[in-house]
Homo-oligomer: A and B are copies of this chain.
Amino acid sequence: MRDLDVKNIHDSVHGTIRLEDWMVEIIDTPEFQRLRRIKQLGFADLVYPGANHTRFEHSIGTLYVAKMLTDDAEILASALLHDIGHAPFSHSGEGIVRKYLGKEHEDVRDILMNSRIREILEENGMDWKNVARGILKPPVSSVIDVDRIDYLMRDSHYTGVAYGIVDFDRLIKTLDFDGENVYVSIKGVRAIESLLISRYLMYSAVYHHHVCRIAKKMFEKAVEWMISENELDPRRLVEMDDHDIISAMRNSCGFPKEIVSRLDSRRLYKRAVYAPKQDIGINIEKIDTKRAEREIAEVVGLDEHEIIVDVPGYRSEEYDIPVYVNGEFVSVEEISPLVRALKNAHMQNWRMGVYCPAEHVDSVRKTSIDYFDINTSTQQKLSDILDL
């Protein structure tokens, strides 16, 4: 009898997921249950009202994808636990954790070591240090990994963007993990193309959507304010859930209270500038955003909290997924004209933004154009066009 003592979870993306006893034990810890209350896409529901899914389901989904590639319990545990160190509102809190705690959300050693999770792992013959290390290695983290396969599919499902594009069935049948790297067979090239198309569309429509970025930046500014005013101990962030941080902001005074009220009622900052790389006259690598915010605020006569300068990292996403063909590995970029095309298109979507309250957009725009030496001739048209 196959199913009698098995615990299943009903996942809206992957269907019924079977769990072994140790997985259930880990999921039942308070540290893991906390992930139920951390939204996967932060404030993306302001643009896509369905985007309310959580790190909890994504973590279990990542385990599911990992199970397709390996039976190694430590790797499966890494997949399940890879997000255990996320701050509230997911990546929206990531920059802060990095800045104040000097570590990435993937660095979960403290959490594993000091919780019941360590015991569960050890009771089941796993070394918790290996599990912690596994979070940073293939197949949990690499050019193509189980984490991003799950989140691309899941974020598509809940936003309704690019839904159904990933050919998961074929992808997983042609993907392999040899203990060191994740790669595809030559029969998987089309499936990889489907994954990269999906990623391209998700970046332009969701992850880099200007409204998502504005809300995220507003939230981060409020959290930093609370930390700098000693209203919030940054070490507590990895224990808090979304309720806690919103509650803290509501109970704060001044700036965080104003920000949470803006987020609640969707009175977001607006774009004063939204410029592609080639329109920016200065070297974007050298921009100090804090200083820029302060200096622009000063010229315009605003408080520095009212200006957000957003300079996303200007680097291509990784496209060099290894394909196994005729006994050797070749990058999918070499094989697929479509992948080369996507890589090229990806860079052209990059934008620097300057955001501020709606009533100050005109003055901030004027000042920012000078400050960053922006070529204005194409500005109006571009911002219209890209506000799809």
Q: Which residues on A are within 8 Å of B, measured CB to CB? A: 1-4, 6, 8-13, 15-16, 18, 28-30, 33-34, 36-37, 39, 45-50, 52-54, 56-57, 60, 157-165, 167, 169-170, 173-174, 176, 185-190, 193-194, 197, 200-201, 204-205, 241-244, 246-247, 250, 264-266, 324-326, 335-338, 340-342, 344-346, 348-349, 381, 384-385, 388
Contact = CB atoms under 8 A, between A and B. Distances in A.
A12 B247 CA distance: 29
> Which residue of A34, A37, A50, A266 has the most chain B CB atoms within 10 A of its CB atom?
A50
Contacts of A2: 173-174, 176, 185
A49 B29 CA distance: 16
Nearest to A45: B36
Contact of A337 (B9, B46, B160, B345): B345
A11 B176 contact: no
A34 B338 contact: no
- Quickly give the copy total for this chain: 4
A57 B170 CA distance: 18
Given A2-B176, A247-B250, 5 more contacts: A1-B185, A10-B159, A163-B164, A197-B197, A243-B247
Interface of A, secondary structure class, is helix
Contacts of A11: 49-50, 160
A4 B325 CA distance: 9
A338 B200 contact: yes
A385 B107 CA distance: 40
A205 B176 contact: no
Contact of A345 (B15, B29, B50, B340): B340
Nearest to A177: B2
B341 A345 contact: yes
Nearest to A340: B345
A15 B34 CA distance: 31
Given A15-B169, A161-B10, A385-B186, A264 B205 contact: no
A324 B1 contact: yes
Given A337-B344, A345-B341, A349-B337, A325 B264 contact: no
B12 A50 contact: yes
Nearest to A60: B49
B388 A189 contact: yes
Contact of A165 (B33, B56, B164): B164
A380 to B, nearest CB: 8
